[in-house]
Amino acid sequence: MDEALTRDLEAFLRERGASLVGYADLSPVPPEVRGGMPRGVSIAVALTPSIVAGMADGPTEVYAREYVRVNDFLGTVADAGAAWLKERGWRAEARRATMDELPSDLITPLPQKTVATLAGLGWIGKCALLITPEFGPAVRLNSILTDAPLAPGVPVVESKCGNCRVCVDICPGGAPSAREWKRGMERTAFFDAFACHDACQRIGKERGISILVCGKCVARCPFTVRWLSKASA
């Protein structure tokens, strides 16, 4: 592995606004899903603290705009990172932070949070979002697929949520089952994505928000609350 390349890419991405950067060995993922690329670069950007703090009771128009802004920003950061790797002779493909149209089963071939857990950035919470120690789930994710010899992080293989039930108890759709995630577990075993989707649609109509967002679990997660407390200190 090229340690200098690994450090330099992280510095490059952080200079352009990445809050967290991690590197994943994608060998557990089928080759056709990862385009034959052996490595993934996971990029997280934290949401604006004041906006997150304002959505403890559900989504706001400001949050909806922030969601779109950060997704677009992540596209720019990933594109720059892929170009940086290509300039150094490696293959690289920047992905998109979100999909314009969700598949009928609400399952993407290679979720951004899968790359993130393989890179060691966090674990999957009971709310089915990536939980980072630094920001909780108050991040958006993107990734780059590459063949560059980047030094991978240590994958996270199980939840660290423990007995916490915050997202379970406040979810307006009753989507989390309270079961904890472990690597290889099907999402349906611990989370009802359709219940989440339907609740987001209902709340969006009630509040005049055009995109599928809720955010209660994002704002109320204890890891998010801890981050918000530090950010406001």
pTM of the complete model: 0.93
User: What are the tokens at 105?
Assistant: 């089963």
In this structure, are residues 13 and 150 in contact, taking their beta carbons and an 8 Å threshold?
A: no
Q: Which domain holds residue 13?
A: 3-232
Cα–Cα distance measured from residue 18 to residue 90, given in angstroms and rounded to the nearest whole number: 21
Please list the alpha-helical segments (H only) found in the chain.
3-15, 49-53, 61-87, 112-118, 166-170, 193-207, 216-220, 222-232
Burial 40-53 (b: 16+ CB within 10 A, else e): bbbbbbbbebebbb
pLDDT digits (tens, 9 = 90+) for 105-163: 667 889 999 999 999 999 999 999 999 999 999 999 999 999 999 999 999 999 999 99
| The two structure tokens encoding residue 8 | 């330099």
Q: What is the pLDDT of residues 157-186, one digit of tens each?
A: 999 999 999 999 999 999 999 999 999 999
79 catalytic per annotation: no
User: Measured at the alpha carbon of residue 75, what is the angle toward residues 74 and 76, in degrees to the nearest 5?
Assistant: 90
**Each residue of 106-135: b (16+ CB within 10 Å) or e?**
eeeebbbbbbbbbbbbbbbbbbbbbbbebb
The number of distinct structural domains making up the chain is 1
Instruction: Give me the catalytic one of 8, 72, 100, 198.
Output: 100
Tens of pLDDT, residues 183-222: 999 999 999 999 999 999 999 899 989 888 999 999 999 9
Q: In degrees to the nearest 10, what's the CA dihedral of 196, 95, 72, 11?
A: 120
Dist CA 209 CA 190 (whole Å): 27
Dist. CA 142–CA 79, nearest whole Å: 10
